[in-house]
Chain A
Amino acid sequence: MNRLLRRSTPLLLAALVASATGCASHKSYQNKNMDFGSIRAIAVLPFANLTRDNLAAERVRDVFSNMLLASEAAYVIPPGEMNRALARLSIQNPTAPSADEIVKIGGMLKAEAVITGVVKEYGEVRGGSSTANVVSLSAQMFEAGTGKVVWSGTSTKGGLSWGSRLLGTAGGDPVNDVTEQACDDLLKQLFR
């Protein structure tokens, strides 16, 4: 019994460390029946902001839209045109539109898909004497024709590492770098 315990202790420790540091685990949903190749134009709606930084949602949306366009997988409707459509359709809450509203937006902008998002964390987190930047966001893609969710993903990047907790260091990556990592992760989930 003692020998078994001695042998399994390192394994148990490794499992504990892995669960404490949080192995990057993201849950995403993708509609199997959706033909993502048919999407040519995407409208990215303003993201909901659940952080203290007033501009967080705007910054993250800009980076996400830019990376999506730069991937050349689809055309992204410019934000000015998007704002005009939202004003014309008198949509009260553009961060959480109804299925009808999504169909209207898609029709007006001639977009095959509409993306909404939520920024949950943006900026510095503290743990004892150590600090680091973290960005957490989730996004959903709706089919503009029906208003149904066809993809959903979430990503969290940055935060305190085990080493920084141990040594009490401050810093980590700049928040913009972490934002890019999170958006890149989301796009990987989308194009999986």
Chain B
Amino acid sequence: MSRQLAQGALPIARPRGFSLAGVRDRATRGQTGLGRQLMMQAILIFISFTVLFPLLWVISMSLDPRNISRPTELTLIPPGASLQAYFDVLAKPTSNPVTLPQLVFNSFLLGAGVSIASLGLGVAAAYAFSRFRFPARAALMIAIVAVLMVPSVAALAPLFVLLNKITIDMGDFNFNLRNSLLGVGLALTSGALPFAIWNLKGYIDTIPKELEEAALLDGCNSTQTFLRIMLPLATPALAVTAFLGFLTGWTEFVISWQFLTNPENFTLAMALWGMTGQYAANTPWSKFSAMAILVALPVSVVYLSLQRYIVGGLTVGGVKG
């Protein structure tokens, strides 16, 4: 029935206002009446409130100077609001001997490392998959897409065991790969790289081949075509892939929590979970809230500016530009 309406009945053009019923209908429905408008506003204000409630709560908590161990009332702006909790977090975020700049640096390193590795390796592979026909192309692409579905935690045991076997010994630098940010970064790249290849291939597929053919006729070789034609055209997808790779590292919890034991390697995500606390009475509510905002704010702002490229693309295979 719906199919008939969607396909059959609709394209038939009829003179406007041919039916009296239609005219009346449009008069009442087309322009939104005041009552209807107010009802919609009421619903949307309620929905906005539910969306904003957790955010307002965290912000309010983070401004509370008392770092109260037992918050018992909801206030939008707590009495004597100050940025004290932020300073406390800056000075000593957790009971571990690690400073906030160190945590930020570690998380940044992880994010940047995963981002650069997955993007650098991924874009070349994506270009080849999109533009070349070569033996075993389909098999390789299936192998890459297949691991996209595997969450890293499902392969945690072998990653942990294998990286634990490797000790890097370079004079002063003597460390177990598992117990290092490099090891965590490698484990994260195992998931981020296939995603980058798949995502970038989807985008490159949408770029017309004619531009490269023109470059070829003008005497570019394939490397020049890739560097001078393809990369600039793929900028939106590159930005999104780089950002999603960064986000993977910046907010990663599972692998870092399992791998890292030295506080100087700890990340923001680990510290934040540490502050959430097993028992409410021990939760440093204001410091936790300030920390949550510090972790979320930078990546949220970037996400906000990129979201129109990200959201649609995730479901159709490749971000749009």
Chains A and B are bound partners: no
| Chain A residues with a Cβ under 8 A of chain B | none
